[in-house]
Amino acid sequence: MGLTMTQKILAAHAGLDYVAAGQLIEADLDLVMANDITGPMALPVIRQMGGNVFDKDKVVFVPDHFVPNKDIKSAENAKAMREYAIEQNLTNLMIQGKCGIEHAILPERGLVYSGMTVIGADSHTCTYGALGAFSTGVGTTDIAAGMASGQAWFKVPEAIQFYLHGKLKPYVSGKDVILHIIHKIGVDGALYKSMEFAGPGVSELSMDDRFTISNMAIEAGGKNGIFPVDEKTIEYMKQAGVKDYKIYQADDDAYYEKVIDIDLSLITPTVAFPHLPGNGKTFDEIEAMEPIAIDQVVIGSCTNGRMEDMRRAAAILKGHQVAKTVRVMVIPATQNIFLQCIHEGLADIFVESGCAFNTPSCGPCMGGHMGVMAKGERCVSTTNRNFVGRMGDTEALIYLASPETAAASAITGYITNPVKLGGAQ
Amino acid sequence: MEAHGRVFKYGDNVDTDVIIPARYLNSFDAKELASHAMVDIDPTFVERVQPGDIIVARKNFGCGSSREHAPLALKTAGVSVVIADSFARIFYRNSINIGFAIMECPEAAEVISDGDEVKVDFDTGVITDITTGQTFKAQPFPPFMQNLIKMGGLVNYVNKKKEN
Ligand code: SF4
């Protein structure tokens, strides 16, 4: 029986010709990443294993969650991490003002690319599957051991194939696709499995859409979410300065536990209601309800803080004012995206329409800072989790949506279908 | 390597919040954590558990957060192995990494009852219910995983490998 894309990458990194689903293997790692929440916790564990990283090119610490430091404790964590990175002479030193959110900065810098095995001490490490890499999130001991030894053990996953075809309609993007999928299969619908995307619909999706989709594989319980490599992927990697990428393809006779058919042309703007990413509703359902007034909008995060997300939001906001009572945080995911927003005049659009235009950070996504919510407040957010208490008070309500829906809702002050507000496109 | 003890039986989706509730996570002390193990699903667990005892549960054991405190609390409380239909991915990893034995065996998980006396042979994957006389076969751990558990976890395993 043939191998899936994920199985092939894992086999190659374990020095094996063949692996079977369920088999336990040890694989070489091409990149190991931690952030300012998980990195400092891993340091004492690394010290128990000799204290040094296995390869200074292949270990990266990204300060993004609570930076710019939100309090003294987070300042100390960021400091411990930075000092260790300097002590170990890490090639890629990430410092505030020169980086961004981990899952946006690593692809942008060309540090992750197709064919790699990557682990990160962050559950959304699955994002790099968009580039055709195997990447997944792990815990503290795993990340420390990966940093010290350059290896990790894996149980080879089974796969579910998502066969994409058709073309997205205007004002529908990657976020709607993944919210639609999670709604369809449930928050444990891909538990432990790899989600493999395939079919002619893939080439219709931009790289930024693919990053958004892979990013949320974990919200369906998936181990990873991987896309085949095509011309768009190769172009993206070239732009990022990648030279030695490797392309793995699933075998024609690869075994998939299930094949799920997704017609992209049928997907409409989708909003995940509190408190699960699987609670997706379309505007047919939403418009049958009382209008849902909102207090805050967040456009950013590792899910939707990329350049295309900024452009899509700006296209809707242009020439409008955000609703009188709504506060809007636009947070580009990296310094480059921030700068590009200035070059393209998007920063002007955001600020002129009444949005706060903020420095790259996870910010309010996990209730850290820059948009923490009070009891009873409602937020439309382009982030990936709407769990109880995720953005502040346990009684705050988070509605997950695309940048288009978030921008449209910012203007009207209630959850709004961007198709209605956007006009012709 | 073997485990031998009495069974504590639970159902589907035993999550990390009931294994060790978030209100106790201000401590990293293993003994402190162990003193609250399973408190929200089985308040008398800690009083009753004896070194070597075995947890048997159904689907998706350990789902929820990625906290490594959960397997640590069970291990320190004296649990020798968890047998379940399936485990949530990060719980599975974290368990193995701290040298805590777990086994997937739906047949055994279905049939074994609370209070049974059970023996597990980690080398062969054979699970024997001494009370009923039934035996079951789980996938044995491959050699490196057996090593990992024997050595008490990933840190020791990596250190040993580095020496060689
Ligand atoms: S943006 Fe949110 S989900 Fe993404 S890494 Fe930061 S905190 Fe995690």
- Do A97 and A203 belong to one domain? yes
A139 closest CB neighbour out of B60, B90, B144: B90
What is the rounded distance in angstroms from the CA atom of residue A206 to the CA atom of residue A233? 9
Can you give the CATH number for the domain in which A254 is found? 3.30.499.10
Of the three residues A221, A247, A264, the one that is the final residue of a domain is: A264
Of the three residues A236, A264, A292, the one that is the final residue of a domain is: A264
What is the rounded distance in angstroms from the CA atom of residue A176 to the CA atom of residue A161? 18
- Do A161 and A293 belong to one domain? no
| pLDDT reading at A425 higher than 80 | no
**Structure confidence at residue A231 (pLDDT):** 98
Tell me the shortest Cα–Cα distance from A145 to chain B, in angstroms: 7
| pLDDT reading at A357 higher than 90 | yes
- Do A289 and A372 belong to one domain? yes
Say whether residue B41 is in contact with chain A using an 8 A CB cutoff: no
The answer to whether B144 contacts A153, with C-beta atoms less than 8 Å apart, is yes
**A407 domain-assigned:** yes
Confidence of residue A73 (pLDDT cuts 50, 70, 90): confident
Say whether residue B70 is in contact with chain A using an 8 A CB cutoff: no
What is the rounded distance in angstroms from the CA atom of residue A17 to the CA atom of residue A341? 46
Question: Which of A6, A16, A24 is the best residue to mutate to test the B interface, defined by the most B CB atoms within 10 Å of its own CB?
Answer: A24
**CB-based contact A147:A42 (threshold 8 Å):** yes
Pocket test for ligand 1, best of A127, A215, A302 (most atoms within 8 A of CB): A302
Kindly state the average pLDDT of the residues A89-114. Answer: 97
A64 Cα to the center of ligand 1, angstroms? 8
**A68 domain-assigned:** yes
What is the rounded distance in angstroms from the CA atom of residue A411 to the CA atom of residue A416? 9
Which residues are CB-contacts of A418 (< 8 A; sequence separation ≥ 6)? A171, A269, A316, A402, A404, A405, A407, A408
Q: Considering Cα of A78, then A83, then A85, then A86, what sign does the dihedral take?
A: positive
- Do A250 and A316 belong to one domain? no
- Do A254 and A368 belong to one domain? no
**Structure confidence at residue B102 (pLDDT):** 92
**Structure confidence at residue B142 (pLDDT):** 72
- Do A199 and A154 belong to one domain? yes
Confidence of residue A422 (pLDDT cuts 50, 70, 90): low
Of the three residues A264, A292, A327, the one that is the final residue of a domain is: A264
- Do A360 and A253 belong to one domain? no
**A165 domain-assigned:** yes
Structural domain count, chain A: 2
- Do A216 and A103 belong to one domain? yes
Closest to A104 measured CA to CA, from A303, A391, A298, A311:
A303
pLDDT in tens, B81-116: 999 998 888 888 889 888 899 999 999 999 999 999
Looking at every residue in chain A, the average pLDDT score rounds to: 95
- Do A238 and A360 belong to one domain? no
Domain extent for A56? 5-264
Confidence of residue A424 (pLDDT cuts 50, 70, 90): very low
**A323 domain-assigned:** yes
**A92 domain-assigned:** yes
A123 closest CB neighbour out of B60, B63, B66: B66
Kindly state the average pLDDT of the residues A104-129. Answer: 96
**CB-based contact A36:A74 (threshold 8 Å):** yes
Tell me the shortest Cα–Cα distance from A186 to chain B, in angstroms: 14
DSSP bridge partners of A119? A32, A136
Map tokens 């946006």 to a residue: A104
Strand order across the A194-198 sheet:
A224-226, A194-198, A159-165, A258-263
pLDDT in tens, A27-37: 999 999 999 88
When computed from its CA atoms, the radius of gyration of chain A, rounded to whole angstroms, is 20
Kindly state the average pLDDT of the residues B44-69. Answer: 87
**Structure confidence at residue A151 (pLDDT):** 96
All residues of chain B having their beta carbon less than 8 Å from the beta carbon of residue A24 are 141-142, 144-145
The answer to whether A139 contacts B68, with C-beta atoms less than 8 Å apart, is yes
**Structure confidence at residue A48 (pLDDT):** 94
All residues of chain A having their beta carbon less than 8 Å from the beta carbon of residue B96 are 153
Distance of CA A167 to the CA centre of its chain: 22
B93 closest CB neighbour out of A48, A138, A188: A138
**A61 domain-assigned:** yes
A263 Cα to the center of ligand 1, angstroms? 29
- Do A93 and A172 belong to one domain? yes
**A399 domain-assigned:** yes
Distance of CA A377 to the CA centre of its chain: 25
pLDDT in tens, A217-263: 988 889 999 999 999 999 999 999 999 999 999 999 999 999 999 99
Lowest mean pLDDT among A106-115, A125-134, B91-100: B91-100
**Structure confidence at residue A85 (pLDDT):** 97
All residues of chain A having their beta carbon less than 8 Å from the beta carbon of residue B157 are 145
The answer to whether B145 contacts A24, with C-beta atoms less than 8 Å apart, is yes
DSSP B22: G
Closest to A200 measured CA to CA, from A157, A234, A230, A155:
A230
A62 Cα to the center of ligand 1, angstroms? 12
- Do A59 and A206 belong to one domain? yes
| pLDDT reading at B27 higher than 70 | no
What is the rounded distance in angstroms from the CA atom of residue A316 to the CA atom of residue A313? 5
All residues of chain B having their beta carbon less than 8 Å from the beta carbon of residue A191 are 60, 86, 88-89
What is the rounded distance in angstroms from the CA atom of residue B123 to the CA atom of residue A263? 48
- Do A143 and A9 belong to one domain? yes
**A36 domain-assigned:** yes
What is the rounded distance in angstroms from the CA atom of residue A175 to the CA atom of residue A326? 22
**Structure confidence at residue A253 (pLDDT):** 96
